[in-house]
Chain A
């Protein structure tokens, strides 16, 4: 018999005896399901964050803020700066030769959440060109706001997250009444967690002269360098231009890193626990089969084949556990959103996205745990002195 045939024969034999060791085998499955479930669930939030960032980001658009901050809420641009940015090289112009640029003001409004408690919702004042600039945004219920009136439209995610934002509702903000006139949708991007209104109305209500950011449509992806160079020629401006894609990545980076760190830290510690569990199980499996293994050694089975069969059993059980853990994470959390506070004081709704890549990571971890868990018992199986192993009952 060749090596593979031997391995196959022994593995089949051990698989047949699995039902007798059901309880012990479950330890590996359940232990690893726990590890993979936790790991995948936390990583799924990081994936959700990155997904929002990617959906919000268009490489042929640029965001300009004042230097020294990653958050729009902390940025301030003067009216002069706004004019210079809109007129910079590389900015696309519309049919009327006006630059496709939107100077925006952000106000955070503290509102009650559906889940109880309250959170900060961004009210973004946008210029007339904002929706030509962001064609992906469209009103799905009600109508667009009139930029001259205290009217606003609400993003789909924000409406789900906060209470009392249905079309027709009135909101008291800074002593003035604002009417919700519509609901808008992007394709699952950051703006769906905001409200929008006309920038002038917002500025006059809040007596603000400054703007927080300017978003521009570039002639093409490649014209970003030209655009940036044109602004850098004026160092007194103290502004920084970023590609929209870089801007969103930078914003979500800190939180994504924290989540990933927590996922691998907690998952790692749990994995160590699961390794001990796996060691126990495989140890029990090997000792339960000690006579059988000794017999096959006497019959001339190679030690390598025996070792491989122990590994195969552990990895098989581990993969089963990983599948279970991934499925649980998907069933329990996928499609849900975790509410938490994001950078720059705004409320964030992080969707939990369990995808194939994450399940892959989970299976990889499971296999490693299974292999480590099988290693010592496998060695023990082929090291046991034959005579005593055969005598064992």
Chain B
């Protein structure tokens, strides 16, 4: 403890150099924090998923439609509590870049399956009464200024029976999802309205969401549903929520390894830089370190002094960098990726890396300090 002023003085011996080194490590940790945050978020995506929900899609590919008639068969599979069919209408509002997704479904069943999406009961009731109604997510409602009662035109590529591709919906309610605000971007509409009005693919759905009572029997139920439609033209693939979501993330392919490669390049560059600074600083202080040894410091203490200096520099910079990354991280949500808070795991990994960095860049100069011969060093040889 009493050596703290000594370490402190050593660090600030050349102020500009320490500040520049500190800042470059800070920058590296900002980059690490954000990139690792995205990677962790991608890997852990679906971790908070609900184990009592299953998803049935076509085995051919997830956008191949399934017959809506499967609903009654799935409902009869043992262990299934509730099923909602989902068809999707992808379109845009006002500008081609304002993409919106309308889910054509049985709203009662869907909101029962997603209890985390909160909607007022009378609004849900209004949707079942209003054929062209829609309950919109709080985020899109805010984004486009939609209020209950508004009629909103949506441009799509889905042809209606009247020959146009423009759809309109009446907002009858707004739902929110406090735990997952990113899920507040959907529009939930009546399947009957959309299916009867569309010209193509009538009587088909995109997926079935299945609610089960006992999550431990999920594997059995998945197999039972798929077995029910085996060897038919439209074979199904049933997965639990986590598998289903991770399957979609996996399609991003090499993106994860790309992020890791970038982080690797950043840290390699950094190790070089920090190591060099520390070596330089020890080299310049050889006479001073020799004096310390001359007045009775043990070899180990001098080594420890140098190492502590490195550790202090690296961990302080890492902490600043990670905090800055945490502040910047929510910005990635605007790009449609990642969440709102930096995962705790990233801090832990970051601090571990900081210690590793300090050891790797600090050991060679510390070793040099350790082996320093007082007489030789003081003589300037």
Taking Cβ atoms with an 8 Å cutoff, the residues of A that contact B are 23-24, 26-27, 30-31, 33-35, 37-38, 41-42, 65-70, 73-76, 78, 107-110, 115, 117, 119-120, 173-175, 207-210, 236-238, 258, 261, 266, 269-270, 272-274, 276-277, 279-280, 283-284, 338-341, 345, 347
Contacts and interface: CB of A to CB of B under 8 A. Distances in A.
Given A66-B165, A276-B21, A108 B272 contact: no
Interface stretch (B137-145, B176-184, B232-240, B351-359): B232-240
Nearest to A69: B157
Contacts of A108: 60-61, 63-64
Interface string B252-283: 11110010011001101110110011011000
Given A69-B90, A236-B164, A279-B20, A38 B157 contact: no
A24 B31 CA distance: 24
A30 B251 contact: no
B255 A26 contact: no
Given A35-B269, A120-B62, A238-B164, 15 more contacts: A37-B265, A68-B156, A69-B157, A73-B63, A75-B157, A76-B201, A107-B64, A270-B31, A270-B269, A272-B23, A273-B31, A274-B24, A276-B20, A280-B20, A339-B253
29 contacts: A26-B272, A26-B276, A27-B272, A30-B269, A34-B268, A38-B265, A38-B266, A42-B262, A66-B158, A68-B165, A74-B90, A76-B201, A78-B159, A109-B60, A110-B62, A237-B163, A266-B262, A273-B25, A273-B270, A274-B269, A277-B20, A277-B269, A279-B16, A280-B273, A340-B252, A340-B253, A341-B251, A341-B252, A345-B62
B27 interface: yes
B129 interface: no
A175 B265 contact: no
A93 B155 CA distance: 34
A105 B349 CA distance: 48
Contacts of B252: 340-341
A272 B27 contact: yes
Contacts of A119: 251, 253
B30 interface: yes
Contacts of B258: 42, 338
Given A110-B62, A238-B159, A270-B27, A340 B35 contact: no
A338 B254 contact: yes
Interface in B26-83: 27-28, 30-31, 35, 59-64
Interface of B: 16-17, 20-21, 23-25, 27-28, 30-31, 35, 59-64, 90-92, 96, 155-159, 163-165, 199-201, 231-235, 250-255, 258, 261-262, 265-266, 268-270, 272-273, 276-277, 279-280, 335
Contacts of A174: 60, 233-234
Contacts of B163: 236-238
A163 to B, nearest CB: 15
A66 B27 contact: no
A245 B10 CA distance: 63
Contacts of B158: 66, 68, 76
B155 A30 contact: no
Contacts of A67: 155, 157, 165
A238 B165 contact: yes
Nearest to B234: A174
A199 B27 CA distance: 55
A66 B280 CA distance: 66
A280 B61 contact: no
Nearest to A34: B269
A27 B31 contact: no
Given A37-B265, A108-B64, A175-B232, A280 B277 contact: yes
A124 to B, nearest CB: 14
B159 A76 contact: yes
A109 B164 CA distance: 29
Contact of A23 (B17, B253, B279): B279
Which of B157, B232, B250 has its CB near the most chain A CB atoms (within 10 A)? B157
Contacts of B277: 280
Contacts of A283: 16-17, 20
B60 A173 contact: yes
Contacts of B27: 269-270, 272-273, 276
B64 to A, nearest CB: 7
B199 A78 contact: yes
B336 to A, nearest CB: 9
B41 to A, nearest CB: 15
A289 to B, nearest CB: 15
B217 to A, nearest CB: 26
B187 to A, nearest CB: 15
A38 to B, nearest CB: 5
B327 to A, nearest CB: 14
Contacts of A175: 231-233, 235
